[in-house]
Amino acid sequence: MSAPHVVVIGAGSTGSATAHDLALRGLRVTVVERGEVASGTSGRNHCLLHSGGRYCVTDQDSARECIAEARILDRIMPDILERNGGLFVALNESDLAFKDRFMEGCEACGISAREIPIQTALKMEPFLNPAALAAVEVPDGVFEPFHFCLAFLATAKANGAVVRTYTEVMELVTEGRTVTGVGVRDHRSGVSSTIGADMVVNAAGPWAGKIAAMAALAVPITPTPGVMVTMDSRLNNMVLNRLNRPSDGDIIVPQRATSIIGTTSWVVEDPDLIPIPVEHVAQMLASGRELVPAVGQVRVRATVAVARPLVTRAQADSRDVSRTFECFDHSADGLEGLVTISGGKTTSSRAMAQRAADVVCAKLAITAPCTTQTTPLASYRSFYQ
Amino acid sequence: MTAESVAVDLEVLRYRPGEGSRLENFSVQVAKGTKVLDALDAIWATLDHSLMFRRACHHSSCGACAMRINGRERLACVTQVAEAAEEHQPIRVEPLHNLPVVGDLVVDVAGFFARMTASDLVITRSAEPELPVSVDPLPASLSLRQVVVPEDLDRFIRFESCIECGICVSVCPSMAADDGFLGPAALAGIHRTREATGDATESAHLLALADGDGGVWRCHSSFECTASCPQAVDPAGRIMSLRGQILARRWGRMWGR
Amino acid sequence: MKVAEEAAPGLRRPSRWLDLRGRHEGAWAYALNRLTAIGLIAYLYVHLGVLSLLAHGPSTWNSFLATTKAPFFTALDAVVLLGVLFHSLNGIRVVLTGVGVAVRWHRLLFRSLMALAAILFLVAGLLWSIRG
């Protein structure tokens, strides 16, 4: 008997990592993606490889997940990471007052954090606001989001997975109360067809709700956009964060030859086309200048808004929603054969994939363990071969 | 509050294998200050989900959205709609040259990536000791400042400037006429790898590749790659520099050195 | 490293290097260099053909020479001279930049050499008209 067939919907970071995990466990995997790899939320990423420092006070589950995953990614995809560390910088009394809680939080989550003299910080980051009052160094990093997804998918393909880009899911095919496949339209050929599946994984990010709705299910996922402003120069080597609770415009992520200021947070209905609020851009530039005054001297190269797929719980403010992830086995809703994996961050996508694959394998009686923690990924360049 | 919206007209090359190609006109509303990629996103989201184009980062870091806009190769994510509309009405959008077209604006980058693999280019390298780093000219008011690397980090690193977008391959007339050519990006990659590697064997292998059948001697000095590179990689300058290195080595050998 | 063959727009075509939309001096130089190369080779064969008339005796040759006095042939000579000037001077640019000389100033080099080509052409025209 051949291995069970799993269809993964979405070739963003979660879907890509899930396909990789399942293929490693010996399953037959088909990934369907309506656009290019990483053409949705994952591509338009802030590129931040979280040390967990950002969440160590407000959301310690996320923080622990981040530091563990950052260490794993460092082993399996070292070539597509800039591991230069990050600084949490205090600019006022309120920030300073937060420092002790921050240090405690880092310690509680196992994140190595150390305060460095401000003169040292200014030598490392000469464009940092010279009026900074304190700086704490953490092991933050930066990744290349497109290559991140390509590397997972290239490895999955090497292990037998099939990746069908420009193939859009039009319906979930059900028999009774079981999902038995997906109806897709292949935009390359214009042909509609059905792909049979023993299990379907919904990894459509902020669009996961739309997929679930095809089976008349609701998932508590809120498309929550953020605005990022990319400058046309790189003004910092390390990630620069404001030393305080996460808020709007409190982080500047350097990447390649740019610095990316982020981010804001609001809620939309339709993540397909998100208008960028002009005041958000102005706000990013203003708060970016607080951390790095030279932001005012360079030009804006691009402004981007993209929806995070946040899993909503009881809280009202989108900033307070936990950034950790959730795996929904829809048999709890009375529908077999469908699993939704959502929430989280790119940094945690490998762990999300592991959770989703564990659920899928348990349901398919596959006992192979997860080995993604220790399997180095293939070159992103091999994806297109 | 969102920016004032403007109407933009585009003619987009549509193609499917076996069906030939045609230009299709679209008209969409976009916010003022929008980029051509945003306009394509708007067409896709509001008018036609079958429009195929590559896109990921939307801020000129991933290289996916390279295409020909009004006949000139550019990254759609950083090309202003207003600027393109001034050049030509409607804005004409076509796929890159010299790479097989998969559908609409999507080209097959397999051959291109295989050449990049052959160049051994690793995307993460030691960064310059100064900031800022920019592919555009820096404003006069900003001077370079020295960076001190912390003791427990042996270096700061940075992704390579080359984003493997394929623009240099599309503009290269030698590439258009010659199937076996490694092309500007891969040769620039070889030059860059030789700059950065300490491995003499790898370095010698790469120089032999650059001197080989598909190497630097197939370049005909049109310099279009350097003129079009959105990331200031200067492939032509690097190709010429490789030629200098090859000639120097031959000269040395001639005298038994 | 062959790319997959498919009859599609954007695929390599022999004439692609002639598509100069959006291009700069370098691609023009490349295209003109190829065209003049083809032209000069064609001229070489015509030239050899003309010389073979010598084998048919003095009268054939003399009557041919008489026909070459027509303005059409003068114009043809001018075209050949332009082709030779462009091809050789651009060749100098390709050789110089190709071994690393004046790479940064390749545009200035191209324009200067083309200016030189124009001057040489005018000088040749002047000499021709003086000699009449």
By Cβ distance, the residue of A123, A188, A258 closest to B59 is: A258
Q: Is B55 found in the same domain as B158?
A: no
| Furthest-apart CA atoms within chain B: distance in Å | 73
Which residue type does A21 have?
D
Beta bridge partners of B69: B72, B93
* First-to-last C-alpha distance (Å) of chain B: 70
What residues make up the domain containing B134? 110-254
Q: Show which of B107, B134, B160 is a domain's final residue.
A: B107
Which residue type does A98 have?
F
The residue ranges of every structural domain in chain A are 5-42+146-220+323-384, 85-140+222-311
Number of domains composing chain B: 2
Find chain B residues with C-beta within 8 A of A83's C-beta.
157
Q: Is B243 found in the same domain as B130?
A: yes
Find chain B residues with C-beta within 8 A of C11's C-beta.
99-101
Q: Is B122 found in the same domain as B22?
A: no
Q: Is B85 found in the same domain as B204?
A: no
CB contact under 8 A, C4 and B111: yes
Q: Is B133 found in the same domain as B117?
A: yes
Q: Is B175 found in the same domain as B103?
A: no
Find chain B residues with C-beta within 8 A of A302's C-beta.
35, 58-60, 77-78
Query: What CATH number corresponds to the domain at position B183?
Result: 1.10.1060.10
By Cβ distance, the residue of A145, A166, A278 closest to B1 is: A278
Query: Is 70 exceeded by the pLDDT of residue C8?
Result: no
Beta bridge partners of A171: A183
The residue ranges of every structural domain in chain C are 25-131
For the record, the structure tokens of C7 come out as 């009859």
CB contact under 8 A, B222 and C29: yes
Chains near A, with 3+ CB pairs < 8 A?
B
Which residues of chain B are under the pLDDT cut of 70?
A: 1, 257
CB contact under 8 A, B115 and C4: no
Q: Is B237 found in the same domain as B147?
A: yes
Q: What is the pLDDT of residues C38-96, one digit of tens each?
A: 999 999 999 999 889 888 888 888 888 888 888 888 899 999 999 999 999 999 999 99
Which fold does the domain C25-131 belong to in CATH? 3 helical TM bundles of succinate and fumarate reductases (1.20.1300)
Q: Is B135 found in the same domain as B87?
A: no
Distance from C-alpha of A369 to C-alpha of A375, rounded to nearest angstrom = 13
Residue among B55, B178, B141, B46 at smallest CA distance from B105:
B55
Q: Is A71 helix (H, G, I), strand (E, B) or coil?
A: helix
Q: Is B79 found in the same domain as B42?
A: yes
Find chain C residues with C-beta within 8 A of B101's C-beta.
6, 8-11
Q: What is the pLDDT of residues A60-93, one digit of tens each?
A: 999 999 999 999 999 999 999 999 999 999 999 9
pLDDT reported for residue C9:
47
Query: What CATH number corresponds to the domain at position B16?
Result: 3.10.20.30
Residue carrying the six token digits 């989703």: A356
Residue of chain B minimizing CA distance to C26: B222
Q: Pick A5-42+146-220+323-384's CATH classification: 3.40.50.1950, 3.50.50.60, 3.30.930.10, 3.30.300.10.
A: 3.50.50.60
State how far residue B145 is from chain A, nearest Cα, in angstroms.
6
State how far residue C105 is from chain B, nearest Cα, in angstroms.
11
Residue of chain A minimizing CA distance to B127: A237
Report B:33-92 residues touching A (Cβ under 8 A): 35, 41-42, 44-46, 49-50, 52-64, 77-78
Which residue type does B204 have?
A
Q: Is B198 found in the same domain as B162?
A: yes
Give CATH superfamily name and number for A85-140+222-311.
D-Amino Acid Oxidase, subunit A, domain 2 (3.30.9.10)
Q: Is B135 found in the same domain as B97?
A: no
Q: What is the pLDDT of residues A285-338, one digit of tens each?
A: 999 999 999 999 999 999 999 999 998 865 555 665 666 799 999 999 999 999
pLDDT reported for residue C12:
47
Burial level of A26, CB count in 10 A (0-12/13-18/19+)? middle
CB contact under 8 A, C9 and B101: yes
Distance from C-alpha of C28 to C-alpha of B56, rounded to nearest angstrom = 34
Distance from C-alpha of A126 to C-alpha of B170, rounded to nearest angstrom = 39
Q: Show which of B107, B140, B168 is a domain's final residue.
A: B107
Q: Is B122 found in the same domain as B196?
A: yes
Q: Show which of B61, B77, B107 is a domain's final residue.
A: B107
Chains near C, with 3+ CB pairs < 8 A?
B
**CB of A250 within 8 Å of any CB in chain B?**
no
